[in-house]
Amino acid sequence: MPEEKKRKNKGTEPIDLLPPEEVIFGCSSAMQQVRRLATRICGTNVPVLLNGNGGTGKEVLARWIHAHSPWSNGQFVKVNCAAIPAALLESELFGYEKGAFTGAYSSKLGRVELAQHGTLFLDEIADLSLGLQSKFLQFLQDGRFSRIGDECERVVETRLICATNKDLEEEIEAGRFRADLYYRINVVRLRLPRLSERGEDIPLMAEYFRAQFEEKFRKQSEPLSAGMLNYLQKLDWPGNIRELSNGIARHVLIGAEAKIVQGPVPGRFDQARESSRTVGIIPLKQLAREAVREKERSLIFEALQANQWNRRKAAQALKISYRALIYKIRDAGLLSRRVDDLTSGRQNATSPSRSAAE
């Protein structure tokens, strides 16, 4: 491995987890423009805003910028603002002190602190609540913040990368996004093209994915014919690179009879919108049920962590019966979380949980 790559590997996000550069950027002119700008700004601590539809590679580019920055030995800390319930996001971002609220049995480091001398990647930034937007804006102004329930201010130096598939200017007009925060985070903006705008990159990417999945599934597959590659280049790809990658996974797993293209694969939000258009009120109910379930799951996980996974104590804290908690833990698939949680706790007593965010 070249010397430079070894150096980058000291960070917590090794560079060799990324696709090779020729695959990330390909040869399309749209991506060459992205590459030029990304190369120019990766060494300077300016906030970067990544715009692009779902599956266009925003996270991959954020990791590439981190890996090529002077902060690559620090952590790449991702916060998905849409995936963490609003009630938990503040503590997840900024941490809290013991006793700050009911259930805060010990103090907890926030992700902002974890990103000290590294990169903080705020994914789906448009979903940050207005309240948190102002707290975050304060932090961006001077790098200072307080953990919940803490008097003292802390200072963190980090590189900020934000990503969204929404139009933030429209969000500002609709009153859902603060204009002053927008101007803070939008110092350099990179727009990731849709896969259909970079069709010439598809053959290289498809071959890359095929090799990856052959290794992952320990399976040989037929090379993609010139005709097939030509056909793939002409498609629309609403799910972008993620959809292509899924198609190639099917090709490797199932073989020639698998359809690489299975019709539109909408993104999470599009999917909700699409189904509400076709099925009326039912998806709304489903969404509400899922939101409640997700919230309950996070609260149970927090209570378990706070009680070192003692389920009897956690049940008491949650004011539900022990049997009900056991049932809910199984139902929410939290058992595997316990292993991860305890393992990371043993390795590093101060490391915070990655709880509901991932």
Ligand X SMILES: Nc1ncnc2c1ncn2[C@@H]1O[C@H](COP(=O)(O)OP(=O)(O)OP(=O)(O)O)[C@@H](O)[C@H]1O
For binding to Mg ion (CB under 5 A), which residues are involved?
A: 58-59
Report if residue 338 touches ligand X, rule: CB under 6 A.
no
Residue nearest to Mg ion (CB): 59
Q: What are phi and psi of 307, to 5 degrees?
A: -110, 25
Report if residue 194 touches ligand X, rule: CB under 6 A.
no
Judged by beta carbon, residue 23 or residue 88, the one nearer ligand X is: 23
Q: What are phi and psi of 188, to 5 degrees?
A: -125, 130
Partner in contact with 83, chosen from ligand X, Mg ion, none, beta carbon below 5 to 8 Å by kind: none
- The nearest distance, CB 69 to ligand X, in angstroms, is 17
Report if residue 82 touches ligand X, rule: CB under 6 A.
no
Report if residue 165 touches ligand X, rule: CB under 6 A.
yes
Judged by beta carbon, residue 9 or residue 246, the one nearer ligand X is: 246
Cα–Cα nearest to 192, from 28, 22, 14, 19: 28
Q: Coil, helix or strand for 4? A: helix
Q: Exposed e or buried b for every residue in 51-72, given b needs 16+ CB within 10 A?
A: bbbbbbbbbbbbbbbbbbbebb
Residues 21-60 close enough to bind ligand X by CB under 6 A? 23-24, 52, 54-60
- The nearest distance, CB 216 to Mg ion, in angstroms, is 21
- The nearest distance, CB 80 to ligand X, in angstroms, is 8
Integer Cα distance of 63 and 17 in angstroms = 9
Residues 200-229 close enough to bind ligand X by CB under 6 A? 205
The secondary structure of residue 148, as a DSSP letter, is: B
Integer Cα distance of 164 and 188 in angstroms = 14
Report if residue 95 touches ligand X, rule: CB under 6 A.
no
Partner in contact with 188, chosen from Mg ion, ligand X, none, beta carbon below 5 to 8 Å by kind: none
Among 35, 242, 313, 354, binds ligand X (CB under 6 A): 242
Report if residue 247 touches ligand X, rule: CB under 6 A.
no
Integer Cα distance of 67 and 343 in angstroms = 26
Q: Coil, helix or strand for 109? A: strand
- The nearest distance, CB 58 to Mg ion, in angstroms, is 5
Cα–Cα nearest to 224, from 239, 216, 214, 236: 214
Integer Cα distance of 8 and 267 in angstroms = 32
Judged by beta carbon, residue 47 or residue 52, the one nearer ligand X is: 52
Judged by beta carbon, residue 65 or residue 156, the one nearer ligand X is: 65
- The nearest distance, CB 156 to ligand X, in angstroms, is 24
Q: Coil, helix or strand for 222? A: coil
Site size for ligand X (CB under 6 A): 17
Bridge partners for 51 per DSSP: 164, 191
Integer Cα distance of 216 and 225 in angstroms = 22
- Residues of this chain that interact with ligand X (CB under 6 A) are 19, 23-24, 52, 54-60, 165, 205, 241-242, 245, 267
